[in-house]
Amino acid sequence: MPPPTCLRSFSQLSLDSAARASMASRARAHAQMACFSTSAARYANPVSKKKGMAQTKKGNKTLNVKKGRNTVQDTGKRPAQGERKAARKRIVLTNDNALEVATLKDMTKADVLSEANQGRVLGIPEATVDALRAVEAFKTTQGWSLFRRPATLMRKETIELAKVMKAAEDDKKTLRRVLSGERLSGKSTLLLQGLSMAFVRQWIVINLPEAQDIINAHTEYAPLPDSQPTQYTQETYTASLLSQILKANNTAENPMLEKIKVTTSPALPLALPADATLKQLIELGIVNPEASWPVFVALWQELTQPGRPPIMLAVDGTAHMMKESDYLNAEVKPIHSFDLTIIRHFIDHLSGAKSLPNGGVILAATSQSNAPSTPALDFSVQVAEARQVDPSKTPRWNPYKNIDPRVMEALKDLHSPTAKEQLKPLDVIKVGGLSKDEARSIMEYYAESGMLRAKIDDGFVTEKWSLAGMGNIGELERASVRLRI
């Protein structure tokens, strides 16, 4: 128990010189009552090591009490199966902290395809967002999770695509477009814009989210009986595709598939109830995967009857399906992607072998970051792009490159077109960089959402535009929003 004088000096202890001087004088005044004296410790005998413990000499093993203290204890608890994958692939589309942009208008059926939208940022309506989620149009690498709600910039290429869609809808034409461009230029987002415009205009939308998932031999396959040459169906993939089609096209606001009745009488392995709707037909295919391909064929026949809405067929990562797949046939030889029924269906429509009686658009987006080498596709796209710039100067093919003849045959309208009309049936939309005005428009949207804290003036826009390599939208987003220094 310290003496009372000690307590008093304890409370008055301070570090400035005046107080210290007074303290010193006070200490002198009080007789030797050193509160924090080290005399006792100094005069005590040296502390001897405990007799029981071993003397620590080199070579002696001693107890290490600190071992394992700093590591994380593995309790053995693991997340449930599939939880980690779900967390990795989760799509987040809202950020509650982002500001609500009051001036943001949604896409409406009346004006989504108009040319007046150029340079504006339009929000995607909620019903369409649900439909896009159902067809897996959003990707985790995109920046949707930073803003209040999904919105896209209607750039020059979007207006071009809108014109194509308008022509397809009005004149009941089948127009096919390949979306190309450099890395991060916005090809997948342009595809998403095409899908959302189709949903808003109430078309039937069928999307193959990743061509890689079809050909990488991760799903079941089986030969299609009575097909010459042998084609192969993929039951589980077709069943999941049917469920996506149902969920996206049969929303609560617009239950299209419930209203349409089955008019053709398809030959299905399972009996369909009389007077069935398309919804019931699709559900039959979902529940019984072994019947999924005949159901898909029947569904397609139904949708191509006169009087049905136009169809949008889309695929991302086209290069994967322009080569041999990873499946093997009975002779242990690789199966070409064009022999898989789903891909053959798509390619028939892309190449022009089949067309859509009610009109529609076929979109094939390429990817620069995830693409195997496909000289045939690269060459066709290159030729089509060059023709847009100067029709007289198109590159010649390299005879030393091993080009897939089937792919060249399928894309012959792209590299050697014969059609002379303004809107070619098969053409490429090259997605380039943004113009300064478009860049300004999207950066104003970022700033109004609170994600970009800067004054948007000419100098700032030009700086970010230049840093983005003359307006590459992915790089622009990284430079302005992603804080990726």
Partner 1 sequence: MPPRLNVLSLARAIPYRPKGQAQWLSRPAARLAPTQTRTYSDAKDEDKVPAADRSKRIDAKPLGHVSEEASAMADITGGEGPDLSQGTPVQDIVRGDKKAEEKLPKVMKEQLKSNASSAPKGSRSYSTSTTPIGGGSGAFDMGLMSMTSPPAEAVAPGLKFEMPVLPLPKDGHLKHRYDPVVDQVTNLLMRHGMKSVAQRNMALILQQLRTASVPTINPQRPLLPGAPPPSHLPLNPVLYLTLAIDSVSPLLRIRNMKGAAGGGVALPIPVPLGQRQRRRTAIQWILGAASKRKTNTSGKTGYAQRVASEIISVIEGRSSVWDRRNMVHKAGISARANIVLPRKR
Partner 2 sequence: MPFISNINFTEGTLVKRSLETFFGIGPKVSQSIMARFHIQPWAKVGSLKASTLLDLTAELSNMKIENDLRREIQDSIIRLKDMGSYRGRRHAMGLPVRGQRTRTQIATARKLNRTLRGGDGRLGM
Find the shortest distance in angstroms from Cβ 78 to partner 1: 9
Interface segment toward partner 2; rule CB under 8 A; list 144-152, 280-288, 330-338, 405-413: 330-338
Distance CA 184, CA 187 (A): 8
Query: Which parts of this chain interact with partner 1 (CB under 8 A)?
Result: 13, 15, 17, 36, 38-39, 41-42, 44, 46-47, 70, 72, 79, 83-85, 87-88, 92, 95-99, 145-146, 156-157, 181-182, 185, 385, 388-389, 429-436, 450-451, 453, 458, 462, 465-466, 469-472, 482-485
Crossing angle of the two packed helices 187-200 and 156-171, in degrees rounded to 10: 40
Q: Which does 36 bind (CB under 5 to 8 A by kind): partner 2, partner 1, none?
A: partner 1
Nearest to partner 1 of 24, 353 (CB atom): 24
Q: Under 8 Å CB-to-CB from 37, ≥6 apart: which residues?
A: none
Nearest to partner 1 of 85, 401 (CB atom): 85
Find the shortest distance in angstroms from Cβ 266 to partner 1: 43
**Interaction between residue 357 and partner 2 (CB under 8 A):** no
Find the shortest distance in angstroms from Cβ 381 to partner 1: 12
**Interaction between residue 102 and partner 2 (CB under 8 A):** no
Cβ atoms of residues 311 and 303 within 8 Å: yes
| Encoded tokens for 171 | 């004149």
Q: Specify the long-range contacts of residues 166-169, CB closer than 8 Å, at least 24 apart.
A: 166/113, 167/423, 168/310, 168/359, 168/360, 168/361, 169/113, 169/201, 169/203, 169/310, 169/359
Q: What value does the CA radius of gyration of the chain take, rounded to a whole number of Å? A: 34
Nearest to partner 1 of 29, 485 (CB atom): 485
User: What are the Cα distances from residue 464, in Å, to 186, 199, 437, 461, 482?
Assistant: 17, 33, 12, 5, 13
Nearest to partner 2 of 232, 296 (CB atom): 232
Using a 10 angstrom Cβ sphere, with 0-12 exposed, 13-18 middle and 19 or more buried, the burial of residue 36 is exposed
CB atoms within 10 A of CB 260: 19
Find the shortest distance in angstroms from Cβ 206 to partner 2: 24
Q: Which does 401 bind (CB under 5 to 8 A by kind): partner 1, partner 2, none?
A: none
Cβ atoms of residues 443 and 449 within 8 Å: no
Distance CA 158, CA 118 (A): 8
Q: Which does 332 bind (CB under 5 to 8 A by kind): partner 1, partner 2, none?
A: partner 2
Find the shortest distance in angstroms from Cβ 229 to partner 1: 38
Point out which residues bind partner 2 (CB under 8 A).
Answer: 217-223, 232, 326-332
